[in-house]
Amino acid sequence: MSAQQAKQEPQPMKLEDILQSDVWNVDEEPHIVVDYTKCEKCPAKPCIYLCPAGCYTLAGDRIVFSYEGCVECGTCRVICPMDAITWNYPKSGHGIIFRFT
Ligand code: SF4
Ligand code: SF4
């Protein structure tokens, strides 16, 4: 492959760029409800490390959950070892709208 051909190869988009092309129509009601009493007893708190949108953070030793930037991947629902997640799909027209560029 020549240097000129290599230049013309489309480059894969970065995750940050892909997410920036999406749109959120945030509902006033959260589609995920977290039972924080269970979080207090959760030793590893894997949601902090595995949520790709960073919706779970720590404030001291307490979990803080923000649903607004959720990409609805379902990871937290699957990996939560304490069954602390109640999942309701966002109402029609709400949540993330993926744009495929
Ligand atoms: S993994 Fe589940 S129980 Fe553990 S901190 Fe996260 S939401 Fe709470
Ligand atoms: S569904 Fe995915 S993006 Fe949304 S809070 Fe759970 S892990 Fe994060």
Q: Give the residue extent of every domain in the chain.
A: 29-94
Specify the ligand 1 atom closest to the Cα of 85: 7
Ligand 1, atom 2: nearest CA belongs to which residue?
80
Answer positive or negative: Cα dihedral of 67, 68, 69, 72. Answer: positive
Q: 29-94 — its CATH code?
A: 3.30.70.20
Does 2 score more than 70 pLDDT? no
Q: Which residues contact 50 (CB under 8 A, 6 or more apart)?
A: 75, 76, 79
- Percent of the chain topping pLDDT 90: 67
Predicted local confidence at residue 10, as pLDDT? 82
pLDDT, one tens digit per residue, over 21-32 is 888 999 999 999
Q: For all residues of the chain together, what is the average pLDDT?
A: 90
How far is ligand 2, taken at its centre, from the CA of residue 28, in Å?
Answer: 17
**pLDDT digit string (tens) for 15-64?**
778 778 888 999 999 999 999 999 999 999 999 999 999 999 999 999 99
Ligand 2 centroid to 21 CA: how many Å? 18
Q: Best substitution site from 62, 65, 82 to test ligand 1's pocket, by max atoms within 8 Å of Cβ?
A: 82
Type of residue found at 59: A
